[in-house]
């Protein structure tokens, strides 16, 4: 066998083991017994130790030194393997295993503290996680910026300085749009109780409408909706509350965007470095365009209104226009995952600034709750009432995902660029969506984004699909146009 063939055979086994690790994480969030947290932490640490050893195996360096390739796919595989080898080799095996162990335990501790609204109960664990992640970031950064090194795990090639410039351009127009909207009367919202079983049945049907393949995927329930897996085994989760079926429906559509991306990657890339989404920003662009530009559009909500009436009967919304306004209702709220399109990115930017300060030691964990509450009051104009609505609402820091939050807003920016190009490519898009037919839209996204997997760099994928360098302009134009129409601005 050639050096390339030997390397890829070795890599295939590593990718398979990584999928098993991901499945353990899915199980922990959906089906694992509550008392199994300690054992699961040891299991996660053990498999992370195996993965770290494989990713730093000296044979990888030897193969990379002599490998000869002649094609685009081979070159892309080598780019990913080389990057992983060089980055992982900088992190001691002891540290990688300890991070896996501590973050697995931290997840359960966070969930209990959140349920009890007790940040002090979680703070010591968060300090431990943050200390480990700072150590890892310093090892990865060498003499460079530690936060940039963390960010590179989720959005290769991006830097905090570039993202901050983009976010600084977003913030003033979002704040102004929010203020203008909240001066107007709010549209009628939903009221009453909506059977949770009926919500799940409707959500599974909508998942299929958006192209999610149930033969290669699942829809389950979790406290915090997420997706995992790739190729022929993709898992997504959603959540239900009796008073808010939109939470279930749009969480499902959002996670279907992630899941469909993984299912639609070229099957030739299965269990190779190209067989997964190229970055979290690009991943988020798929979930957000499915959820918002498609799922919350006037055309699609007109169709969804009929499906809701079939599922729940008369629920007090008079017609399709009123339903569209209800779906896109802008109101004060604490929770990022439940936020409307106008305010969502303000939630993300709050977290982005706070975690950068934590990593840089400009903010310590003991002061985090107060800093969160102060920033929230400044950005949203009212006070956080309890930790589960504030600093404890997200799972990300408990599992060590520092550098992850900005990819949410970057994904929204990417989605704005893709939506603008999609409208040109499919001029009768609204006619299709009004019939509950997403095939033209999701097919365009599959062809131009999803099928490539990790073949190209993240920014390159968006530029190729949209025909221009990513910028915040299309997203802002879309938001101002849509909500200006709904609220008569």
**Could you give the C-alpha distances from 418 to 278, 297, 368, 489, in angstroms and in order?**
16, 15, 36, 25
- In this prediction, residue 484 carries a pLDDT of 97
Mean pLDDT of 384-394: 97
Mean pLDDT of 182-195: 94
* Residue 235, H or E segment: strand 233-238
The residues assigned a catalytic role are 255
Which has more confidence, 61 or 34?
61
Kindly write down the DSSP assignment for every residue of 124-193, as one continuous string: HHHHHHHHHHHHHHHHHHTTS-HHHHHHTTTSTT--HHHHHHHHHHHHHHHHHHHHHHHTSPPPP---S-
pLDDT band at 198 (very low <50, low <70, confident <90, very high): very high
* Residue 343, H or E segment: helix 341-359
Mean pLDDT of 389-408: 96
Domains, the chain, in order of start with CATH, read 3-144 (no CATH), 160-487 (1.10.1370.30)
pLDDT tens-digit readout, 121-170: 999 999 999 999 999 999 999 889 999 999 999 999 999 999 999 999 99
pLDDT band at 224 (very low <50, low <70, confident <90, very high): confident
Q: In the predicted model, is pLDDT for residue 55 greater than 90?
A: yes
Distance (Å, whole) CA 285 – CA 449: 10
Distance (Å, whole) CA 47 – CA 416: 38
pLDDT tens-digit readout, 230-270: 999 999 999 999 999 999 999 999 999 999 999 999 999 99
Q: Torsion angle, CA of 50/54/55/58, rounded to 10 degrees?
A: 140
High-pLDDT (> 70) share of the chain, %: 100
Are 412 and 345 in contact, with CB atoms under 8 Å apart?
yes
Question: Angle at the Cα of 78 (from 72 to 83), degrees rounded to 5?
Answer: 130
What is the pTM (predicted TM-score) of this model?
Answer: 0.93
pLDDT tens-digit readout, 283-341: 999 999 999 999 999 999 999 999 999 999 999 999 999 999 999 999 999 999 889 99
Q: In the predicted model, is pLDDT for residue 69 greater than 90?
A: no
């Amino acid at each position: 066998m050639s050096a390339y063939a030997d390397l890829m055979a070795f890599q295939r086994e590593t990718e398979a083991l990584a999928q098993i690790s991901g499945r353990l994480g899915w199980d922990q969030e959906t089906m694992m017994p509550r008392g199994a947290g300690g054992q699961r932490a040891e299991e996660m640490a053990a498999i992370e130790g195996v993965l770290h050893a494989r990713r730093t195996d000296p044979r990888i360096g030897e193969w990379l030194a002599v490998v000869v390739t002649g094609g685009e796919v081979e070159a892309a595989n080598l780019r990913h393997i080389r990057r992983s080898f060089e980055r992982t080799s900088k992190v001691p095996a002891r540290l990688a295993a300890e991070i896996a162990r501590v973050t697995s335990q931290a997840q359960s501790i966070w969930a209990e503290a959140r349920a009890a609204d007790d940040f002090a109960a979680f703070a010591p664990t968060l300090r431990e996680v943050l200390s480990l992640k700072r150590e890892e970031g310093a090892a990865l950064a060498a003499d460079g910026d530690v936060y940039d090194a963390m960010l590179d795990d989720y959005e290769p090639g991006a830097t905090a300085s570039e993202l901050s410039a983009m976010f600084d351009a977003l913030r003033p127009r979002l704040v102004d749009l929010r203020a203008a909207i909240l001066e107007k009367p709010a549209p009628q919202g939903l009221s009453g109780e909506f059977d949770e079983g009926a919500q799940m049945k409707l959500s599974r049907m909508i998942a299929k409408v958006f192209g999610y393949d149930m033969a290669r995927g699942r829809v389950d329930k979790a406290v915090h909706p997420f997706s995992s897996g790739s190729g022929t085994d993709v898992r997504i989760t959603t959540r239900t509350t009796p008073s808010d079926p939109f939470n279930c429906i749009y969480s499902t559509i959002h996670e279907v965007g992630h899941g469909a991306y993984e299912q639609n990657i070229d099957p030739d890339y299965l269990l190779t470095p190209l067989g997964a989404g190229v970055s979290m920003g690009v991943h988020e662009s798929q979930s957000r365009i499915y959820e918002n530009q498609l799922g919350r559009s006037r055309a699609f909500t007109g169709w969804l209104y009929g499906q809701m009436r079939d599922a729940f009967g008369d629920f007090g919304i008079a017609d399709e226009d009123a339903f569209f306004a209800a779906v896109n209702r802008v109101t004060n709220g604490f929770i990022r995952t439940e936020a409307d399109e106008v305010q969502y990115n303000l939630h993300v930017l709050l977290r982005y600034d706070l975690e950068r300060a934590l990593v840089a030691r400009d903010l310590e964990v003991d002061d985090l709750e107060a800093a969160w509450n102060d920033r929230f009051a400044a950005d949203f104009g009212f006070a956080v009432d309890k930790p589960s609505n504030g600093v404890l609402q997200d799972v990300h820091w408990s599992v060590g995902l520092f550098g992850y939050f900005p990819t949410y807003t970057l994904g929204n920016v990417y989605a704005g660029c893709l939506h603008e190009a999609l409208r040109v490519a499919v001029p009768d898009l609204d006619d299709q969506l009004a019939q509950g037919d997403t095939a033209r839209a999701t097919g365009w996204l599959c062809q131009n984004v999803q099928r490539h997997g990790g073949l190209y760099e993240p920014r390159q994928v968006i530029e190729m699909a949209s025909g221009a360098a990513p910028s915040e302009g299309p997203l802002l134009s879309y938001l101002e146009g849509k909500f200006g129409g709904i609220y008569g601005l």
